[in-house]
Structure formats: structure tokens, C-alpha cells
Structure 1
């Protein structure tokens, strides 16, 4: 994981998002926005070391990544927690995702990980195998998971131990501009019934969109490891085996990149110059720039398109294999974990339990981290959801019971391999390498990365 390895104590500075006292009022929305930018500049936020405050309370450091809306909702939920547990003082901090990753890597390397932390799917193996995360099985009395979907819960396990629990669930989607599609006389499948649509049917739709709108039908999915995984699973294969080895061959990746490169050459998906501008933000996708009619993304982040597309957006299922086998799955949108060396494991577990299982907290948090994984809470908050949260819930409801079990968390090397995947496909899309040459290069490097 990238990041400056010089340890920086939480005591070293008090940026805007650190809360030394829970008696203080919440930061105004404008201040939250300004603070998020500041956190990014400072490569994360920091707080105060120690497990007890001057008043004798247990002090927990809780950190996450996200936007100002997620921060405001989280702060409100933490207030509720402290009212229920007045002997605990929770000191919070957050930052943008890239800054958060770097800060957490620095803290973990220096033995200064926060008591409770938000984790990405790709962080679990690295931090669990590195001894950073607590085995949550030791805190079953405080942290209840009986109402979590078993398949989702299993994604936070490593070698039989539960190191992280999912906070919400998300899934991939073909997010599109329905006004453009309607003008082209097209309508994507509303759900995944009877296989929804296959990759070939999706490709034909992209061709019609290009013909009738004059712009590519969608973003070139060849650069996306996530899209490749959906395609692979539709073929009955996987990105990784249970032993954390590659689950596909050079031939498999050659087929995928030949398929997507042919579409690029036809001009029905985005050109290389557009695709290589993708940086994780919706603003720099072809759909966000108005140079394509659709994109493949995760459902919750797709809300960012609402500010860019005047007539709104709609969500359609991902394509399936030729025989209707779905490759799409419900993935934990993010996890919560506890530092292995926390001085207050019980209170840390109580905080996680509250954030995931408390009804009042759920009403405050909404779908800010994805649709809740607690099944009874998910049903309870559904009528309260508004705007795009409601859209996500309705979309996921069309997929209920139709998707396969999610894979285990990927090996730690996958974070680096995502970049390698994009780099090698860039060579294909700029016609510097053939799909097979690039596939051979990727598989060779991936095997070396996974062995290291």
C-alpha cells in the first residue's frame, strides 16, 4: 500500500475533523467541505494517543474515508452511541479515499492504527496477515452478526477468523443516461431475470447507441479489473482461487481484451484518449464528460453522476455469461475492523455493533455506506430512503436472490495489480501491444506479485 512510512502521532496536530470533546457542536456543512480538502492536503487526519481521557472515559479513535455527507451522518450516529455509552469518548477523523489509504498505511506501519477503522475489500488480507487487525471472534458478546447475510459476512474472514465486518453492500451496474437511451429507442433490462442481457447483447446495444447518438455507447470496460471479474464469473471462473492464486489464464484475459479492443476499434466504446483519463472520479469518465451514454460503476458512487447529467441517471444490471450465468455479486461496500493492539477491544466492538445494528443509527446513516447488511434493518429503513438512496435500494431489490455468492477478499497484491491491469490495457488501447502480448505481460507480473 502506498504512503509515507514516517510515523506521525495522532497527538502531533489537531486538524478540523478531530473532536477532542463530544460536548462541542457539529461542524457546519461548509466547514466540513473545507476540512475534507484540508485532510487530503495533510494526507489524512490525526487525533490524540491514549485509551482514557482526563475525565476517566475510555477513548476510541475511529476513522473512515468519505465525503462531507457521510461525515455528517457518521458524526450524528457517533453522538447517539455516546449517549448510550456515556463512559466512552469517540474521537473521529476522516479524509478522501486516497489520503485515507496513505494515512492508514503509515499508522499501521508505525504500530499506531486507530482503534476502529473503515476498511476496503482489498485492505483486509494485507492488514489481517500483517497482524494489524483484531480477530473479532474474541468479541462475540459485544458484536452481534446473526442478522448479517452469511455470504457477505464471510468476505471479512481470513484463515477461518473474522477480521472485519461489512458495513453495507453494493453491486456493479450499467449506469446510463435514460434520456439518451430513450431517444435512441433503447431500454436496458430492468432486472437480472432470465439472465438479463449477455455481454454480446450489451455490445450490440453499444453499437446501436453509437449509430443513433453519434457518440460511443459506453466506457471501454477493458481497463476495469472489476468489469473483467464480472465477465470471468459469467464464464464460471474467478479472479483469484481460494489459495490466492490467479483464477484465470492468459487465454481468458486475451479473450476479454480482444472483445473490448474490437469494440474500441469500432468506435462503439470510448477511445483510448478518453479511457486513460479515468481516475476514480465520475467527473472524468466518458459518461461524466458527456462523451458516452453509459458507464460501468458501483451503484453507490454512481450518485455522483446526478450533478453532471441534467435529466438524471438510471441503473441496469451488469451483463451475464452467454448461458445467463451472472458474474455480478453483492459486494461489501466497505468494512469495519479493530486494531489488534487496541486497549479497549470491548468498547471498540460495541461501537461497531452500534453502527451496524442500532435502529436509530441506521436511520441516520441511511445508505451513505451502501444498503445495510443487517437484514431486518434493511427492511425497516427502506420506506425512509429518499432520492438516490431509494434508487439504489430499488435496483438491488431487482437482483435479490439472483446473484452468486461473493468471492473472498482478494489477496493484498491485488491493490497493486489494479494499476498493472489498467497500464497493460493502455498498451492495447493505444495499439502498442496486442491483447495476447498484454495478457501475457499481466499474468507474468501478477504471479510474481502474488508470490511476493
Structure 2
């Protein structure tokens, strides 16, 4: 059983650290600290964003963790993505961040440069990073410090409900076509169903789709020195390209507001939606369907290396935690344990660590994610630059303005002006 092996390993690790401390005259060696007191009863707060499916998996993980570490009580909580980061900002201002929390590389500079994250490198006795390749480790590093670790990696994809498509008599989108062909396919779904099922949503609301277009032309959202990698004209063209989708092809934004936080695909009101490949498990849980399909997003260049291994979903420990050793142990269990691989499969991304992958049973939806990643391997390019400080706020601003355009509350021109004004303030901060 995995647990027996991990107990032995953890015991040896702590014993080794204790022996190293005992043998040091005139002070402990830096790599011999810290020592974990296995008899101390502690309580850790842990939080994440996601849906009920993710919550049930985290509950199972905590239960498995407590079989091995019964003295560490985990108090878990979750919310939706926008509310999650609003709450973290409030907590950060009051020095009250959770002990351990689901993190995103989008906020690495914001929280890392502010000294709010624990340097996991100082707790290497409890966090094994040898199971990650260097590229994935780099997604949680800043100025030589390891502030977070990825739970897995994903790639951008088009999800579609084949059962809905069969009901309305439209063949699934084949993937990887031009944007014009993709939009025509969406229109055919909406027309065939007489509007009872829409072809999809306005994908120009998501900054990731702008990112794909920029990468297809050899660019990125941001430059290496932290400036925007696109100008007002490019953003205006991008948002205007969604006019047809907003004009009856895609589901109206007002309808999406009524069902939030459920997605259009999850509510079976749309036949497709673009998102990260690790969302498959969540979509299946929302729809209650046994299967959904994933295909490559549209592209303007068949030879482009626009996709990349996105390891944005991470886990971090707050610098002000009163129990850093216990927090590090729980983080390690989450990102490295075979139990975590078995419980989460690919729902937190394709396992980033080799030990977590060992526990994952790649069958059903999890194998489907693995197969999808393999199918787009030829489109995988270099990872973009480390997200700029404030990227999470920029992403949310982009999304909010995109939804406002869909609601008719703001024109494209005014949205472009507002975005660049707000981005300038965020980047300057």
C-alpha cells in the first residue's frame, strides 16, 4: 500500500534530519533544518477554487492524508475563481492568508515579491522536488526561490458535447481548423437546434484565446521585461472578431449570467466551450454525461507552436504560517503522493510529478486527457515568459470587460481604452 511506504520514508527523513542536528557542534548545518515533531497536534487551513467535483476529491485527499498524519487537522474551504482571489487579496492585506492554498502562477510575482509565500527550498526535507522536471519546477520559481509547485499541466482545448450534437444532427467540430470554419460550425449548431442549444460561447472573452493568436504570430501576451505584448489595435480587432458569435451564434451573455457559476457547456446550453484540458472531469460532473470530447482549438497557422504546457495550477504555503513543517508535509502529499494521483487523476492537470503520476490510473476521462495532450504534441511550443506582477488582475479585467461587451454595457472601443488604462495601473503597481 502507498501509505506504508510513505510513512517509512517520512520517518527516515525526519530521523535523518534529527541525527544531522545531533551531530552538529557549534550550530546546525543549514540543510539539517527544520525538524518535524510528529507528536504535535496542529491545525492547518487549506483553501482552493473549483466546483463540487474538485471539493469531493480534496475531501478524499484529506482523508487519505490523515490516515498517515492523524495529528495534522486540515480545515478545507473553497469558492469560485473570481471570489477566491478577491478573498486572498483581503487576507493578504490583513496578514491572514491560509496556511496552504491552491495557487496560480498568474499571481507568483504579486505574492512572491511581497514576501507572502514560504520558500519551499528551505523545507526540502519535507518537499521532494526531484520528481519534477526543471521546466515545470520553473513555473513556481522566482529569483531563485521555489514559492510553489504545480499539481499538473494542461493545454488549451475545445470541449464539446457529442450527445447534444447528435441530438441536433450536427457532426462534432474536427479541431485545428481556421477561426472562420470554427465559427461557421458554431453557427450550424445554433441554427440546427433553433437556438435550444448554442454552438458555444464568445471565446473572445478569454485572454487565453488572444494569447493563442499572438503566439501564432510569434508573440506573447507579455514581453520578457514585463510590458504588454499587444497594442490597442490588436485587442480591438480581437474583440471585434467576436461580433458574429455575440450576434446570435453563441449563447447570450445575459443567459450565462443567470446560470453562473455553472458554465454553458455544463448546463447543456452550449455544445462547446474552450478551456484547459484538466477541466474535463469538472465538465463531466456538471453535465452528468459519461463522455465529452476534446479537440484542438482553431488556428491561423497550421505550423504554429501556439500551445504550451500550462502549469498554472499550483500549491503554495503562506510565509506567516505557524506550522511551516506540517504545511510543507501536506503540500508534498498533495503534489507528490501516489494517493493524490489516484484521487485526482488529471483533474488538476496531467500529473506534474513522477510519483503522483505513478498513482494515477489513466483510464476513462484521465486517459482521454492524456490522449489529447499527445494529439496536440506537434503544436506544443516554448512556455511564455513568467506572468507579470498583477497578471491575475489583468486576466480578470479582460474577462469582465469581455462579458460587459457581450451584455451591451460597453462598446469595444471603450472597453479597449478601459483595459489599457487599468493594465497600465496594474503593471505600474
TM-score interval, normalised by the smaller of the two chains: 0.7 to 0.9
2-side partners of 1:400 and 1:323: how far apart?
Answer: 13
2-side partners of 1:309 and 1:338: how far apart?
Answer: 34
* Ranges in structure 1 where 5+ consecutive residues have no aligned partner: 1-50, 191-195
2:250 aligns with one of 269, 279, 300 = 269
1:37 maps to none
Whether 1:254 aligns to 2:236 is: yes
Q: CA deviation at 1:338?
A: 2.0
Shift in CA distance, 218/340, structure 1 to aligned 2, threshold 3 Å: same
Counting only pairs closer than 5 Å after superposition, residues 61-210 of structure 1 correspond to structure 2 as 61-65=44-48, 66=50, 67=52, 68-82=55-69, 89-97=72-80, 100-182=84-166, 184-189=169-174, 196-210=176-190
Q: Deviations over 1:227-264 (max 9, x none)?
A: 22233322322222233321111111112112111333
Q: Deviations over 1:56-75 (max 9, x none)?
A: 51635140225331232221
Shift in CA distance, 288/369, structure 1 to aligned 2, threshold 3 Å: closer
1:294 aligns with one of 260, 269, 272 = 272
Q: CA deviation at 1:353?
A: 2.6
Q: Is the 8 Å Cα contact of residues 111 and 117 (structure 2) preserved in structure 1?
A: yes
Whether 1:446 aligns to 2:423 is: yes
Q: Is the 8 Å Cα contact of residues 58 and 344 (structure 1) preserved in structure 2?
A: no
Q: CA deviation at 1:305?
A: 3.7
Q: TM-score, normalised by structure 1?
A: 0.74
Q: CA deviation at 1:347?
A: 4.2
* Ranges in structure 2 where 5+ consecutive residues have no aligned partner: 1-34
Shift in CA distance, 321/80, structure 1 to aligned 2, threshold 3 Å: farther
2-side partners of 1:381 and 1:410: how far apart?
Answer: 31
1:371 maps to 350
Q: TM-score, normalised by structure 2?
A: 0.77
Q: Is the 8 Å Cα contact of residues 81 and 351 (structure 1) preserved in structure 2?
A: no
2-side partners of 1:294 and 1:203: how far apart?
Answer: 11
1-side partners of 2:144 and 2:280: how far apart?
Answer: 34
2:327 maps to 348
1:414 aligns with one of 391, 412, 421 = 391
2-side partners of 1:56 and 1:376: how far apart?
Answer: 27
- SS in structure 2 of the partner of residue 117 of structure 1: strand
Q: Deviations over 1:390-413 (max 9, x none)?
A: 433332332346412333453343
Q: CA deviation at 1:52?
A: 9.9
Q: Deviations over 1:279-300 (max 9, x none)?
A: 4432xx2x34444321112333
Q: CA deviation at 1:275?
A: 5.1
Q: Is the 8 Å Cα contact of residues 137 and 162 (structure 1) preserved in structure 2?
A: yes
2-side partners of 1:369 and 1:347: how far apart?
Answer: 22
**Superposition RMSD in Å:** 3.2
Shift in CA distance, 171/81, structure 1 to aligned 2, threshold 3 Å: farther
2-side partners of 1:210 and 1:391: how far apart?
Answer: 27
Q: Would you tell me which structure has more helix in proportion to its own residues? A: 2
Q: Is the 8 Å Cα contact of residues 160 and 292 (structure 2) preserved in structure 1?
A: yes
Q: Is the 8 Å Cα contact of residues 172 and 297 (structure 1) preserved in structure 2?
A: yes
- SS in structure 2 of the partner of residue 331 of structure 1: coil
